[in-house]
Amino acid sequence: TANRETLGFQTEVKQLLHLMIHSLYSNKEIFLRELVSNASDACDKLRFEALNNAALYGDDSELKIRVAFDKAARTVTISDNGIGLSRDEAVAHLGTIAKSGTKEFFSALTGDQAKDAHLIGQFGVGFYSSFIVADKVTVISRRAGIESNQAVRWESAGEGEYTVEMVEKAGRGTDVILHLRDGEDDFLGGWKLKSIIRKYSDHITLPIVMKKEEWKDGEQVETDEDETVNQANALWVRSKSDITDEQYTEFYKHVAHDFEDPLCWTHARVEGKQEYTQLLYIPARAPFDMWDRNARHGIKLYVRRVFIMDDAEQLMPLYLRFVRGVVDSADLPLNVSREILQQSKDIDNIRSGCTRKVLSMLEGIANSDEAADKEKYAKFWEAFGAVLKEGVGEDHANKDKIAGLIRFASTQGDGDKQVVSLADYIARMKDGQEKIYYVTADSFNAAKNSPHLEIFKKKGIEVLLLSDRVDEWVVGHLTEFEGKQLQSVAKGGLDLGKLEDEAEKQEAEKAADEYKELLEKVKTALGDRVKDVRVTYRLTDSPSCLVSDEHDPSGNLARLLKAAGQ
């Protein structure tokens, strides 16, 4: 028609499509989960916009998702009466990828199919997964509140371009029509589609309906009657004992837009001053954009089962930004906005409740003696440890709890692996040792080979080896743990207390006297660059080392600050 336009996909979309078709083929049925998930999100968005504009519902307020198939046309259609897409939205959302982390994702690709499949999963497969089973996809959509002749028809064979044109559509919402590839006729059956929906989308809050089928002359034939395929009630409202691990896992994939199973979750109903339900998950892997402190946060807020918003950043502190899930409040008003959330005491309460819940879930795993939990905690620590460490300075109320969860590399640990807790360290302290010793450096090797460690090696005293960027921040805020002071081995006159050897000390004092002149000379030669030059008994192999004054920034911190331009 006259208004049809042909547009090119963004380069990244082309690349993603190609990869998706080739590396996700063995898991192709997930296209249905993705399309149902989008339909559900679209209904959530409509419900939210309609809170301030009930007219958007028109005469159609029963939100639902329909899955249908047509054997003769060889199509499968997923329809919803949600928010819909305008022409411009269709171009923006179905022709480009606007997600954060896109650049990192594409640069992480290896060309190895199995590895890349994994990465795509992590990145989020979404709408484009339709092309795994379809060689042509048609989307017909009408945005809520727009005239029936202003609907959009988007179509593509997934090869580099797509067309958009204005068409007529009677009802609001979106139809996604998949024209199946040769050999995909399996999906043209009610039994098959229903079993996929039950497997992946049972937790979807809206009804997913299909036509009921009955046996006629030895064949399954469709009737005119609708049947709801899923349970269609909010998963988090059900009691824990009625939810299987599989259902929790599928729900996670939906809320987190993740493809992999979560590492663990916690589900509870909180009563008291504030009444709310929390279902919070920890992913198995770090997202691409974890270091972007402005990236999505991933907690969905509901009020009495009505979706309010995604990324409700007020519900989790920054150092737990990797947590995903749902909070459903019984008390907040339905028209709550981001601005209101920022000043809400109720939200502060919910946030501290959720924070405690996540920390105690982590404690449970960290303190468990079971091998599976140990492995889980190690995996958690590898993915999110560096982020959790930020909490020591960020969350005063939970500082001790967080400190207990931190793991370090140490001179008595397992190479550069961060496996030693402060409690482990204290349990191994020498008789007469009063402090927890650590060294900071810009790499594990630099820490491990630091000349400051020589005296500790000699005396068999464990030293924590800190080399993450965030570690300076940790020791800046964490000055003691369970009554034991944390002490840098690279600072000041290093008082080893009862660990000190009287004879060594006297020898050093004698030497300082003897070499007074030399010390003065060195000091004059170095001028302003040093505060003092001393004789030390700390070193056993190296001739000299730099130490910083007790209250000055450590050498490593000074380097970091310099690198940051301060």
Asked whether position 82 contacts ligand ADP by CB under 6 A, the answer is yes
* 251 token code pair: 């729900």
Enter the tokens of residue 5: 């336009």
d(C-alpha 258, C-alpha 260), whole Å: 6
**Smallest distance, ligand ADP to C-beta of residue 8, A:** 18
Q: Scanning the structure block, which residue is given the tokens 């009630």?
A: 233
Within residues 112-151, the interface with Mg ion by CB under 5 A covers: 126
Residue 78, SS3 per DSSP: strand
> Rule CB under 6 A: is residue 76 a binding residue for ligand ADP?
no
Q: How far apart are CA 152 and CA 89, in angstroms?
A: 10
Residues from 291 through 330 that contact ligand ADP (CB under 6 A): none
In the list ligand ADP, Mg ion, none, the entry touching 315 (Cβ below 5 to 8 angstroms by class) is none
Decide which of ligand ADP, Mg ion, none touches 298; Cβ closer than 5 to 8 Å per partner kind. Answer: none
Q: Which of residues 135-174 bind ligand ADP (CB under 6 A)?
A: 174
Q: Which residues contact 380 (CB under 8 A, 6 or more apart)?
A: 263, 264, 282, 362, 365
Choose the binding region for ligand ADP from 76-84, 144-152, 181-189, 290-298 (rule: CB under 6 A). 76-84
Stretch that binds ligand ADP, among 78-86, 193-201, 450-458, 536-544 (CB under 6 A): 78-86
Please work out the total of residues on this chain that contact Mg ion, with binding judged by CB under 5 A. 2
**Rounded CA separation 130/155 (Å):** 12
CB of 415 to ligand ADP, least distance (A): 39
Q: Which does 93 bind (CB under 5 to 8 A by kind): Mg ion, ligand ADP, none?
A: ligand ADP
To ligand ADP, the closest distance from the beta carbon of 99 in angstroms equals 7
Over the window 100 to 139, marking each residue x when it contacts ligand ADP by CB under 6 A and - when it does not, the resulting string is ------------------------x-xx------------
Which residues are within 8 A (CB) of 473 and not within 5 positions of it... i.e. 6 or more apart?
389, 390, 392, 393
Tell me the closest approach of the beta carbon of residue 233 to ligand ADP, in angstroms.
21
Residues 36-55 that bind Mg ion (CB under 5 A): 38
Contacts 24+ apart (CB under 8 A), 388-392: 388/319, 388/320, 388/362, 389/319, 389/468, 389/470, 389/471, 389/473, 389/474, 390/318, 390/319, 390/470, 390/473, 391/317, 391/319, 391/320, 392/473, 392/474, 392/477, 392/478
Give the ranges where 177-327 is alpha helix by DSSP (H).
190-201, 245-256
Candidate list 18, 28, 74, 93; residue touching ligand ADP; CB under 6 A? 93
Q: Does 472 bind ligand ADP (CB under 6 A)?
A: no
Total residues contacting ligand ADP by CB under 6 A comes to 17
Least distance to Mg ion, CB of residue 129, Å:
9
- The helix or strand, by DSSP H or E, that contains position 80, with its residue range, turns out to be strand 75-80
Comparison of 38 and 398: residue with beta carbon closer to Mg ion: 38
Q: Is 81 in the site for Mg ion (CB under 5 A)?
A: no
Nearer to ligand ADP, 83 or 164 (CB): 83
**Cα torsion angle, 66, 71, 73, 75, sign:** positive
Determine, following the binding rule CB under 6 A, whether residue 83 of this chain makes contact with ligand ADP.
yes
Identify the three-state secondary structure at position 254: helix
Of 35 and 455, the one with the shorter C-beta distance to ligand ADP is: 35
Residue with smallest beta-carbon separation from Mg ion: 126
User: If you write DSSP's letter for every residue of 37-53 in order, what string do you get?
Assistant: HHHHHHHHHHHHHHTS-
Residue with tokens 């620590």: 381
Amino acid identity for residue 203 in this structure: H
**How buried is residue 260: exposed, middle or buried, by Cβ count under 10 Å (0-12/13-18/19+)?**
middle
Residue 422: exposed, middle, or buried by beta-carbon count in 10 A (0-12, 13-18, 19+)?
buried
Query: Least distance from C-beta 123 to ligand ADP, angstroms?
Result: 10
Q: Determine if 447 is a binding residue for ligand ADP (CB under 6 A).
A: no
The reply to whether 298 sits near Mg ion by the rule CB under 5 A is no
Stretch that binds ligand ADP, among 18-26, 80-88, 323-331, 505-513 (CB under 6 A): 80-88
User: How many whole angstroms separate alpha carbon 17 and alpha carbon 132?
Assistant: 8
d(CA 234, CA 288): 29
Could you give the string, one character per residue 21-60, with x where binding to ligand ADP holds by CB under 6 A and - elsewhere?
A: -------------x---xx-xx------------------
Q: Is 80 in the site for ligand ADP (CB under 6 A)?
A: yes
Q: Are strands 151-156 and 134-142 parallel, antiparallel or unpaired?
A: antiparallel
Tell the smallest beta-carbon distance from residue 126 to ligand ADP (Å).
2
Specify the residue, 23 or 38, whose C-beta has the smaller distance to Mg ion: 38
**Which is closer to ligand ADP, CB of 128 or CB of 481?**
128
Four-CA torsion 488, 489, 495, 501, nearest 10 degrees: 150
Residue closer to ligand ADP (CB basis): 103 or 505: 103
Footprint of ligand ADP (CB under 6 A): 34, 38-39, 41-42, 80, 82-85, 93-94, 124, 126-127, 174, 257
